[in-house]
Every structure is written in C-alpha cells, then in structure tokens.
Amino acid sequence: GDSVTQMEGPVTLSEEAFLTINCTYTATGYPSLFWYVQYPGEGLQLLLKATKADDKGSNKGFEATYRKETTSFHLEKGSVQVSDSAVYFCALSDRGSSNTGKLIFGQGTTLQVKP
Amino acid sequence: DARVTQTPRHKVTEMGQEVTMRCQPILGHNTVFWYRQTMMQGLELLAYFRNRAPLDDSGMPKDRFSAEMPDATLATLKIQPSEPRDSAVYFCASGLLNWPNMPQHFGDGTRLSIL
C-alpha cells in the first residue's frame, strides 16, 4: 500500500542553520504531496503542497520539490528560527481508484531550534 | 480564516464513562476525518465521511467507538465505555474533495485522559 517515510528525529539545529527533513514515498498512483507542521498543543497546519512532478511548494521560507524520479519531497529552509521548533509531517494523497482524499502521513520529525 | 472547531479541548474522566467529542467542519467542506494521535502510534485515521455518509471506519475499535454526522455542521465521535488506553489527542479535519488539491484542515484537538 501507499506509505510515507520521514527521517527520524529529533533534529536539533542552531538558529540560522540550514534545515533539511527528508521524506520519501511509495504510491501506486500519482499522488499530491504535503508538508504539515504541528506546534505544541495545536493541530496540524498545512505548510505547503505540490500536486505534480517538479512542482515546488513554498511557504514561510520553507520549500519542497516534488521529485517523481526519486519519489521524494524533502523539506528545506535556508535559515531556521527558534519559532520553527515544531513537529513536521510529510503526507501524500493518492487519488487511486477510490478518490477518497485520505492522507497517508509519515511518522513526524521533531525540530528543535536553539538560540 | 475559517477554522475547524473541536469541543471540548480537554476531557478527563474515569474508565467506563461515555465520552463524546464534537467537531464543526469548515462550511462547504464535504469530507470529514477523525484521527487519533499518541506518542507510540503517531497519527491514526479512525474514520471519515463524505457528504455526511461514512466511507470507512476500519481504523476504529468497533465495539466501543462510534462516529456520526447528524448534519453538515456537526461530526461526533463517541467512546462507550472508555478505557485508559483510549487516552490520546483526537483530531477532526475537514476538506473539500477537489483533486488534485485536497489539503485537510485540522482542529486543535480534544485531549482525552481516561483514569
């Protein structure tokens, strides 16, 4: 079945460091890909998305490019801030034959940014 | 911005009691999802609805959990009887099935503790 694999955390960085969180997926169809962020005590918020190969999603300085050839959707940010400390989830939605809109989530990666 | 609203935000009760969690999806969204989040299992999809009809509840323990949408503005998740292992954060999410853009919008969750 469809699945999403993220790099294990926690990831600890100093402020202004470069961030990469790896995400790879397996899907039988042609999925849409998403990154969600969860701040402490809150629900998940959509961070960015991409719906076809080579699309780049971007928001708040974060970027991710849909790479069909490597089945990847790595999250990057050039300079992290303390306020970026959160849990990040990679997810896919595969239309398939049922077109349910279900999201398949990775296990989440905790990012901690230190001043 | 429109938001998914969940009530209550916190619930502490004793084992064996009935628990009802409520969700108001974003107006116009036609798909509603219930998730459970724990440290051990991560995010688990419990059930989801399309146009108020249940599509899949295979993620729920059938003997004690039930999910309904009495109308388009209210989704409920009930546990009866509750058990300590049900302690978790329960999230509701809603979305508009509009391939390929099908992001889900999450509420802030109900934090449930069963003593």
Q: Please indicate whether residue B97 or residue B59 has the higher confidence score (pLDDT).
A: B59
pLDDT, mean of residues A83-108? 84
Query: Which range among A95-104, B5-14, B48-57, B76-85 shows the weakest confidence by mean pLDDT?
Result: A95-104
pLDDT at B101: 65
Residue pairs between chains A and B whose CB atoms are closer than 8 Å: 59
Average pLDDT across chain A, whole number: 92
- The pLDDT confidence band at residue A98, using thresholds 50, 70 and 90, is low
pLDDT at B32: 94
Instruction: Give pLDDT tens digits for B33-50.
Output: 999 999 888 898 999 998
Choosing among B106, B108, B110, which should be mutated to test the A contact, i.e. which has the most A CBs within 10 A? B106
Nearest CA in chain B to A98: B55
Nearest CA in chain B to A105: B43
3-state secondary structure chain B: CCCCEEECCEEEECCCCCEEEEEECCCCCCEEEEEEEECCCEEEEEEEEECCEEEECCCCCCCCEEEEEEECCEEEEEECCCCHHHCEEEEEEEECCCCCCCCCEECCCEEEEEC
Question: CB–CB of B104 and A108 under 8 A?
Answer: no
pLDDT, mean of residues A51-59? 94
Nearest CA in chain B to A43: B108
Average pLDDT across chain B, whole number: 92
Contacts of B112 (CB under 8 A, 6+ apart): B11, B12, B19, B21, B82, B86, B87, B88, B89, B90
pLDDT, mean of residues A58-76? 97
Choosing among B1, B9, B40, B43, which should be mutated to test the A contact, i.e. which has the most A CBs within 10 A? B43
pLDDT at B46: 94
pLDDT, mean of residues B41-65? 90
Contact between B104 and B94 under an 8 Å Cβ cutoff? The reply is yes
Q: Please indicate whether residue A1 or residue B21 has the higher confidence score (pLDDT).
A: B21
Question: CB-side exposure of B24: number of CA atoms within 13 Å?
Answer: 8
Rounded CA separation A44/B93 (Å): 9
- Statement: residue B100 has pLDDT above 70: no
Query: Which range among A56-70, A71-85, B12-26, B41-55 shows the weakest confidence by mean pLDDT?
Result: B41-55
Question: CB–CB of B101 and A100 under 8 A?
Answer: no
pLDDT at A37: 97
pLDDT, mean of residues A42-46? 92
Rounded CA separation B50/B96 (Å): 9
Closest by Cβ to B103, choosing from A34, A99, A102: A34
Rounded CA separation B69/B88 (Å): 22
- The pLDDT confidence band at residue B99, using thresholds 50, 70 and 90, is low
